[in-house]
Structure 1
Amino acid sequence: MTSMSVFDIVPEDVLDAIFLRTPALDLVLNCPLVCRRWFEALSGRYFWLQKIESEGMRISERNRQLLLDNSDYSLCIYILKGVACGLLPFNRNLIRNPCGEDGRKYWVQKEAHKRHADYDSDSDEDEDYDDQYSAVRFEVEEKPVGAYPIPDKVGVPTQHCFVTSYRLGIRVQVLNFSKYSIREGVMELLKPTINYSQWVSSRHDCGCEAELSIQVKSGLWTMKPDPLDWNTSQEGVERRVWYKMEDEVQCALPIDTIVYRSTGKDRQFWAGNYGSKTTACSLILKI
């Protein structure tokens, strides 16, 4: 009679419950080596969908069915494991320092971006660029001065926000997708939606404006959606109140870079930081 190990007698539902509470990287790197049964359990597409959803991430019904039914098993399991482990750039905010809690870190001003076309937002030189080019264009407030506190619905853990002045303030992050080494066919299969947004407000005593835009590059192809504009003269806009600027576009091509660009200034040319305030900057590739 063949002897059974403890790994063989654990019920299937109990094993799944344990795996759903195990860090995804351990499930990929270590657990499949324990025994054949664990290897087979962790090779199923449906389990990885469950794992993703147990972490609070949502996948559209279209892509859910594609990942379960597509004939290319290798590509689908690669996507599912990559999303679960956070190794692929999907369903999470790719903007770093979105509220200014870390000062101007990871943000560059427009002139710096022009002069450094191959700029990588992960570079250790971020703060040097910021100090040289952006100090007079935008600042960071620990809490909004002259505006209402950032409401809970914005979903940020801090009251920090960026604030502009009488000169046009321009913040840029260049997201370089080469570091993810995304396999061929992933973007074509998933056709992710690029969702980009920020929250904006103004002081009670000074009119201001803000603009949000992105630029997507894939080889020689470039997509530049129309910018989103906001100002205190628009109908229905109340000073001090926080508003969400948001749009989305679909992209089915491999992405090289996305440039996220936020600009703003006051409309009364007052000395000091009386321009638009922004926080919760976000760019998400939704699948």
Structure 2
Amino acid sequence: SPADVPLAVVEEILLNLPAHQVVRVCRLVCHEWKELVDSAAHWRERCHREGFHPCEVSRPPDDWRLFYFLTKNRHNLLKNPRAEGWTIVQNGGDCWVTGGNMKPFPDETVTKCFVTSYGLCLKQQLIDLKKEGYSDAFMDRLQPPIKITDWYAPRYDCGCQYEISVELLDRRKKPLCTFQPEKVFFEQWNHEPWCQVSSIILTVKLFPYNQTNSLGFIVSLFVLLYFR
């Protein structure tokens, strides 16, 4: 029976099982196993073994289980982020194209970018969080922040305008939260480098605990570049 197995052995077994199985199955076996799974020490050790470390060592996480799952599931949700995909909504002027960077990009591994024209160019991408592995329970209980980052740059010989809009949608695709900073304008004959826009949507402010939500995450990028 589970009670006959030393807790030190049980803990080592649990640490070698998938985290979701430990939470959904092993935690329900008995009171002793539940205490092991719920302990900060268990999740701190998991983080250590898998190489998950806080950015600031002097400020450890308040909730090691939350920190583990957020770090484990952190990845870029955009498909084809290197200018090789998206849904083209509007193709003004000479249309969207992809090409080499016209000026050095901070990350040397990024060699291509989207290039717009002298008319309105609009691209959009819809991300289904459930299909990406973020279940209703995960979103409700852990309520992870969603980080939004994009890069943009003007051409030297053309004036241009940059705009981005990001919406967090419910199952009916109605916006729950919107990130839409002010438009950015560049004059002709500029020497501006690549610029980064970044923000974090804190889902903890949107969803009460244990309320089931089926979410989509839509990224709509509005760019009007290269006025002639």
TM tier relative to shorter chain: 0.5 to 0.7
Separation (CA, whole Å) in 2 of partners of 1:209 and 1:150: 19
Separation (CA, whole Å) in 1 of partners of 2:141 and 2:38: 19
Q: Counterpart of 2:196 in structure 1: which amino acid?
A: K
- Call closer, same or farther: CA 1:194–1:242 in 2, change over 3 Å: same
Verify: 1:198 aligned to 2:155, yes or no: no
- Residue 170 of structure 1 and its aligned partner are, at CA, apart by 1.4
Matching residue within 210, 225, 228 for 1:266: 225
Separation (CA, whole Å) in 2 of partners of 1:182 and 1:135: 41
Q: Deviations over 1:234-265 (max 9, x none)?
A: xxxx5341111122332233351111111223
Separation (CA, whole Å) in 2 of partners of 1:264 and 1:84: 32
Residue ranges of structure 2 left out of the alignment (5+ in a row) = 1-6, 27-32, 208-212
Matching residue within 115, 121, 135 for 1:182: 135
Tell me, what secondary structure is at the counterpart of 1:151? coil
Q: Counterpart of 2:217 in structure 1: which amino acid?
A: I
Tell me, what secondary structure is at the counterpart of 2:43? helix
Counterpart of 2:178 in structure 1 is 224
* Contact map agreement 1:169 1:264 (CA 8 A) in 2: yes
- Residue 64 of structure 1 and its aligned partner are, at CA, apart by 4.0
Counterpart of 2:30 in structure 1 is none
Separation (CA, whole Å) in 2 of partners of 1:217 and 1:169: 23
Q: State the number of aligned residues.
A: 201
Between Structure 1 and Structure 2, the one with more helix by share is 1
Counterpart of 1:139 in structure 2 is 97
- Call closer, same or farther: CA 1:256–1:183 in 2, change over 3 Å: closer
Q: Counterpart of 1:167 in structure 2: which amino acid?
A: G
Superposition pairs of residues 227-246 of structure 1, within 5 angstroms: 227-233=181-187, 239-246=191-198
- Call closer, same or farther: CA 1:43–1:227 in 2, change over 3 Å: same
Counterpart of 1:110 in structure 2 is 89
Q: Counterpart of 1:93 in structure 2: which amino acid?
A: N
Verify: 1:168 aligned to 2:120, yes or no: yes
- Percent identity at matched positions? 18
* Contact map agreement 1:48 1:81 (CA 8 A) in 2: yes
Residue ranges of structure 1 left out of the alignment (5+ in a row) = 1-7, 34-39, 69-76, 112-132, 270-287
- Residue 217 of structure 1 and its aligned partner are, at CA, apart by 1.2
Separation (CA, whole Å) in 2 of partners of 1:29 and 1:178: 18
- Call closer, same or farther: CA 1:244–1:83 in 2, change over 3 Å: closer
Superposition pairs of residues 80-91 of structure 1, within 5 angstroms: 83=70, 86=73, 91=74
Tell me, what secondary structure is at the counterpart of 2:135? coil
Verify: 1:96 aligned to 2:49, yes or no: no
* Contact map agreement 2:128 2:217 (CA 8 A) in 1: yes
Verify: 1:257 aligned to 2:209, yes or no: no
Between Structure 1 and Structure 2, the one with more strand by share is 2
Tell me, what secondary structure is at the counterpart of 2:164? strand
Verify: 1:55 aligned to 2:51, yes or no: yes
- Residue 45 of structure 1 and its aligned partner are, at CA, apart by 4.8
Tell me, what secondary structure is at the counterpart of 2:111? coil
* Contact map agreement 1:200 1:242 (CA 8 A) in 2: yes
Tell me, what secondary structure is at the counterpart of 1:93? coil
- Residue 150 of structure 1 and its aligned partner are, at CA, apart by 0.2
Separation (CA, whole Å) in 2 of partners of 1:135 and 1:232: 19
